[in-house]
Structure 1
Amino acid sequence: MKELLYVIPPHEHDVLTLTKILEEHPQIKFVSLMGIDMGGNTTAEKIPMHLFIEDMEDFLTYGIQTDGSSVVLQEIATLNNARLDIIPDIHVNWIVDYNYDFIEKEDCLPVGTLIIPSFLVHEHKKVDSRAILERAAQYFKESTLELLTQYPHLLKNLGLADIEDIEDITLTAATELEFWVKTPEDKADIEKLTTSQTLKEQYWKRTQGTVRTALEKTMIEIEKYGFQPEMGHKEVGGVRSQIGVDGKSNHVLEQLEIDWKYSTALQAADNEIFVRQIVEDQFQHHGLEVTFRAKPIEGVAGSGEHTHVGIALKLKSGRIINLFAPKELKEDYLSTLGYGALMGILRNYEIVNPFINSSIDAFNRLKPGFEAPVCIVTSLGHTVENPSRNRSVLVGLVRDMQNPLATRFEVRSPNPLSNTFLVIAALYQAMLDGMMAVAQSGKEGKELEREISKKAGQEGFYLEKNRAYRSEENVFEYYSQQERNAIFGTPPATPWENISYFDQHKDRVGILLRGEVMTPNTINSVKASTIDIWKKELLNRVLIENIHLIRECKKLHKEDTATDLDEVLWRKINALRHELMKNSLEKTSLLGRIREALMEEDYEIASELQIEMSKKIQELRQGYIRYKRNLIDL
């Protein structure tokens, strides 16, 4: 396997060099142009390598054509205007994806496919997620240089004397991938999972058997591609697997996390796609199912994908300065622009969140008690000298007193199926808005700390009067739900409520459009695709799963051994079952009313009914567990 090629870097993307490399590696038999639509889905196709080599210059310049109506580009590529070009991006790494189940007899090497990250072009415009992030990064760089030029006090705050000292601005990002693995067809035992999670029996424990092998192979494979893995470990969810008579693991149900090194913004988002593919391939090769769903099992920990963002200035001297780190680490939490960037995320989060959480599954994860954020709030640390990590907030400030370059923001709301390209792009636009406001205000240091630390009801020059934005407490335990909603704002509970913020905050949507990073069609496409996915998820998964649950909640007690408590508990359960699912001539069930609302496109009512259904389903689950616990004979 030492002969395998894993990465082709940008400086080798010319025709002559590529031809030589590919002819020296005949095991790479296909090419696939990978575009990313607005839903975060990747395009994948198999182009024979000999065709790519024969017409490489045209491929690199014009790409290939496809039907844009078949990908998630609503309001952009329509049925009567569906032509879409997939154009290779020659400025990022290309990787080779190997099929280890297909070994060529001639050279005993696996067949490879060269994956080329690409742009989706409609009517001569890049309209895909990668293009949006590319434009956001470029606009952020240009605007930051303008701010530093226009407001010299910002340079002084960073310890710089002259704007000419800056050679480049680097936008860095990193993600952390959490996921569940399981033995196919095994069903989850919610009580066992909940108990294991409460007792912390799995978190950071030693992996064993098939899971250990698959995880170790995944880490090694990631290393081969240069992604620089930093850690792989068990997460909080899961139960211990069992060993079968054949010596192999069975009844596997575990939650894992893999972290790797940061990169530039666009490359980091590409890398995440590649890592997900490697994880899937390795674990499936060992007979295990992988899911990146945010909340695959109700009642236990979901999977997050904390997203880290940072900005660095590269000076002509070769020195690197963190844009967010203060000149004196022991005097301030952040630089002036660092405070501005953080406030920008917090003030504008309502219009950023639709790009982060767009599914029912995503909102199922965002509930108190599972270390997932529910409030628009940050934590700076208990003192400037001692950085802390508050895991209950939306945006955490990561600092290292020995390393100013480590200063960055950790956004904790994304999940593994969030579209990282759009997430980071929206965050950049929001951060830039705050940076502009802070620069214009002339405020620095402690004044900005007071702004971000203000109480609800206090006036701020940028942040909303009726909101608070900072807490060093555990917001789940320190505040009641009513207090959280009053202080930090009521969070959306459904995808419909989330995208409704675009209409409620029309004045702020313009922030996303600055620099032509996004367009009104981009916003409309996100809204249309979110509604489409929400409807399908609700009708074809959530309602179906709830019907199965309702039918599984059957009368179990026997009359001769039953107590009056059994009868009372069962009557309550049965009444819930009928209310949820059973229609009559006089009354439509809750599930039936949701279907009707969706068919009539009354999304406001459908959203309200979804929230009501979720509460009653939870009540049914808990009631049935209590009912079964009281039964002697089952």
Structure 2
Amino acid sequence: MGKNELLYVIKPSQQTKETLLQLLADHKEVQFVSLMGVDLAGNDTDEKIPVNIFLHDIDKFLTGSAAQTDGSSVVLPGIATLNDARVDMEVDKDVNWYVDYNYEHFDEKGRMVGTLRMPCFLTHNGEYVDSRSLLKKSLQYVEDEILALLKKYPHIPGLENIDVNEIAHLIFTTATELEFWVKSPRENSPIEALSSSQVMQEMYWQRTRGNVRTALEQTIEMLELYGLEPEMGHKECGGVKGQIDSSGHMTHINEQLEVDWKYNAGLQTADNEILARIIVKEVFRQNGLDISFQAKPIPGVAGSGEHTHVGIAAKLKNGKVVNLFAPADMHKDFLSAVGYGAVMGIMKNYEAINPFISATTDAFNRLKPGFEAPVCIVTSLGLAPDIPSRNRTILAGLIRDLDNPLATRIEMRSPNPYTNTYIAIAAFYLAALDGIKACVTSKKSLAQLEKEISKKAGQKGFYLEKDREYRTEADVFEDFTAEERAKLFGEPPATVWENIRNWDKYPEKKKVIMEGGIFGEAVIRSFAEGAMIRWKTELLNRLIPEARADVVATKKLHDAGNGTAYDNAVWKKIQAVRNKLAKDSAKETSTFTEIKNAIEAGDYDAVSAKFLEMQKLKDELYALYHDYRQNIID
């Protein structure tokens, strides 16, 4: 059976009992069924239910609680507990279902064995508790609120060409871009080589070769078969050139790639992203390559983002689709009042969004100056409405095409491949709603709204904070010092704890995300608890042991016979850093031990501070040892 003959997608219109029975009868290669729920950390569930059980209980699967799972085994802390762990799984029939094929398992007729993955919602004691339901309910709430607002204020600046009474429903147009690193198993390139290649721009948009090219092309083909409508795959800025071994095969591969596919709406966008990650990982693995979706798998080199595009369109009763962010005159104005409101809402309330976006140490490792990753809360609109530009140093960028108003959208540059896209999208739109309400009800002109978002620190605005700035067309990294960035755009959190703590630090912004009651206190507490558990566990069981191994591996390389005064001086500094990091004494406690003690005491301010100290000392140790090792020539 060829690839084109396999069953890949079951669309909502096909999810009837009769159609499903016929499809599964025609495709015996589909031998299992799996319900895909998504917990608060973005993990998707997967199990193998024999297809005959699904067929026997098909009415139950399609109309009620299809299955149960142990909620204490997924990330729902404080909700599904050990003594109350039952979580029911309810099939979602409003999105595509996919068949996930096992490339290494074939039935007696030589067909790849497939698993029908059906996205579902998770309920605990009758309450929806999963990421998918949070996004679905958030978008419905935002749509209801915007439609009510437009009816009350039908004459919206920038949308004079639209009769709001002709709007049938809204479309939340969203898209993600997937960046990742690919390498040969058990092979790593020197960081110096990777860094040099990036600075000299040797890799970006270069031609792929060997099995990397094969895997990338096969990935795009698979995305097409699943209906994701891939738009491109290409090299990103990180990586080094591969080498060819004696047999003519590419080896020593370490490259950064990106794959993009067409936007979709709401839940389908996030479901598509999970599918795309599975396809990328499986296809590259089949070609003998390792994949990393980490935000910062290699220190000192470009990390992997997952830019998330946010837009709102309206479908009119006559079937026409119009973009509510795009102004009537694209050459005169940047945005409509709805568009300005969305940008302002996200910017003003980002401190309450960020805990959902950057919930791991890996995420913060990426958000450092100099790597085209955002470090502060600021947007860019462009040099002029008729000269669209792309500022790659900001948090939220305005994407425009003067010849295509439907393309107008906000690009959020902070998410990474492990950001929970469901919750991120929900939070973006809830914050956007706050700004949209403020701008529309203000009845201000587009010129006044542009002035608001462009205001300088110290100028009072009708919505944005007085002491902050929110827009720049400059290079955030080069044209501002760290102190200037913090003063103008806000002090960015540096750890998971500092980020989570912002919910207490900015209660009025947290309240915006909780608007409509979808993100209740129980959900926010559960998300925070899960993030903190992962942060502490990673510190104790991964980051400290890895740092300790680096300390131990930092060996003295010279002796009296081949050393110089310089070597002795540098080694003395190295030894001091090693001791500070890892060596306890009767008088002093090492940084590693201080972190462990602070975690045991529940003093997370101290944990955060000592963790940052650990990172600084690690960087210092690396730099010192690099110079020391380079000076040893015997």
**3-state SS in 2 of match to 1:424:** helix
Q: Match of 2:104?
A: 101
- Contact 2:326–2:336 (8 Å) recurs in 1: yes
Tell me the amino acid that sits aligned with residue 341 of structure 1: A
Which residue is equivalent to 1:10?
Answer: 12
How many Å apart are 1:248 and its aligned residue? Answer: 2.5
Give deviations 1:199-241, integer Å, cap 9, x for gaps. 1111111111111111111111111001011111111111112
Tell me which amino acid in the other structure corresponds to 2:614.
Answer: M
Q: In structure 2, what is the equivalent of residue 415 of structure 1?
A: 416
- C-alpha contact 2:175 2:269 (8 A) present in aligned 1: yes
Structure 1 match to 2:33: 31
The amino acid of 2:68's aligned partner reads Q
Match of 1:43 among 31, 42, 45: 45
1:457 Cα deviation after fit: 1.1
1:571 matched residue in structure 2: 572
Query: Does residue 85 in structure 1 map to residue 84 in structure 2?
Result: no
For structure 2, the residue ranges without an aligned partner over 5 or more in a row are none
Q: What SS is found at the alignment partner of 1:500? A: helix
| Rounded Cα–Cα distance in structure 2 between residues aligned with 1:579 and 1:131 | 47
Partner residue of 2:497? 496
- CA deviation vs aligned residue, 1:311-352 (integer Å, no higher than 9, x gap): 111112222211000111111100001101100000000000
Partner of 2:465: 464
Shift of 1:249: 2.3
Greater shift after overlay, 595-604 or 271-280? 595-604
Q: Could you say if the C-alpha distance between residues 3 and 588 of structure 1 is closer, same or farther in structure 2, counting changes exceeding 3 Å?
A: same
Aligned pairs for 1:254-403 (under 5 A) are 254-403=255-404
Q: Contact conserved, 2:158 with 2:335, CA < 8 A, in 1?
A: no
Q: Report the equivalent of 1:67.
A: 70
Asked if the contact 2:158/2:326 (under 8 Å) is kept, the reply is no
Q: Which moved more, 1:174-183 or 1:544-553?
A: 544-553
Partner Cα separation in structure 1 for residue 441 and residue 7 of structure 2 = 51
By how many angstroms is 1:160 displaced?
A: 4.3
For 1:492 and 1:196, locate their aligned partners in 2 and report how far apart those are by CA, in whole Å: 30
Structure 2 matches for 1:520-599, cutoff 5 A? 520-599=521-600
The count of aligned residue pairs is 631
Letter in 2 for 1:11: S
Answer whether contact 2:134 2:422 (CA < 8 A) is retained.
yes
Note the 1:134-145 alignment, pairs <5 A.
134-145=136-147
Letter in 2 for 1:278: I
| Aligned counterparts of 1:157 and 1:476: Cα–Cα separation in 2 | 33
8 A contact 2:184–2:252 mirrored in 1: yes
SS in 2 for 1:476: coil
Offset at residue 161 of structure 1 (A):
5.9
Instruction: Compare 539-548 and 462-471 and name the one that shifted more.
Output: 539-548
Q: 1:455 — aligned with what?
A: 456
- The one-letter amino acid of 1:320's match is V
**Partner Cα distance (2:209, 2:163) in 1:** 56
Give the drift of 1:430: 0.2
SS of the residue aligned with 2:477? Answer: helix
**Match of 1:95, SS?**
strand
Which deviations, in whole Å up to 9, do the C-alpha atoms of 1:132-159 show, x marking residues without a partner? 00011111111110110111222x6312
- Aligned-partner SS, 1:607: helix
For 1:272-313, what per-residue CA distance to the aligned partner results, in whole angstroms no more than 9, with x for missing partners?
A: 000000001011111111111101111111100000011111
Match of 2:152 in 1: 150
Aligned amino acid, residue 104 of structure 2? D
Quote the offset at 1:585 in angstroms. 2.1
Name the SS of the counterpart of 1:530 in structure 2: helix
CA distance in structure 2 between the partners assigned to 1:3 and 1:190 by the alignment: 45
* C-alpha separation in 2, matches of 1:626 and 1:382: 44
Give distance in 2, aligned partners of 1:25 and 1:550.
56
Aligned to 1:123: 125
Q: Is the 8 A contact 2:161 2:328 kept in 1?
A: no
| Equivalent residue letter for 1:138 | Q
Asked whether the 8 Å contact 2:169–2:316 carries over to 1, the reply is yes
Percent identical across equivalent pairs?
52
Displacement, 1:185?
Answer: 1.7
Could you tell me whether the CA contact under 8 Å between 2:151 and 2:165 is conserved in 1? no
- Using the TM superposition, give the Cα deviation of residue 250 of structure 1 relative to its aligned residue in structure 2, in angstroms: 2.1
SS of alignment partner, residue 428 of structure 1: helix
What secondary structure, in the 3-state scheme, does the structure 2 residue paired with 1:387 have?
A: coil
CA distance in 2, matches of 1:204, 1:631: 38
Runs of 4+ with deviation above 6 angstroms:
none
The residue that corresponds to 2:224 in the other structure is 223
Q: TM-score with structure 1 length normalisation?
A: 0.98
In structure 1, distance between residues paired with 2:171 and 2:390: 25
**Structure 2 counterpart of 1:130, one-letter code:** R
- Residue 441 of structure 1 and its aligned partner are, at CA, apart by 1.3
Distance between the aligned counterparts of 1:195 and 1:541, measured in 2?
A: 28
User: SS at the partner of 1:299?
Assistant: coil
TM-score when normalising by structure 2: 0.98
Cα deviation, residue 439, structure 1: 1.6
CA displacement 1:465-515 (0-9 Å, x = unmatched): 110000000010000111111111110000000010000111222212222
Distance 1:187 1:558 in 2: 30
Report the more deviating stretch, 316-325 or 238-247: 238-247
SS of equivalent to 1:157: coil
> Which residue matches 2:520?
519
Q: Within 1, Cα distance between the matches of 2:521 and 2:186?
A: 44
Instruction: Output the CA distance in 1 between the equivalents of 2:264 and 2:48.
Output: 28
Q: SS of the counterpart of 1:478?
A: coil
| CA root-mean-square deviation | 1.1
* Range 164-173 or range 508-517, more displaced: 508-517
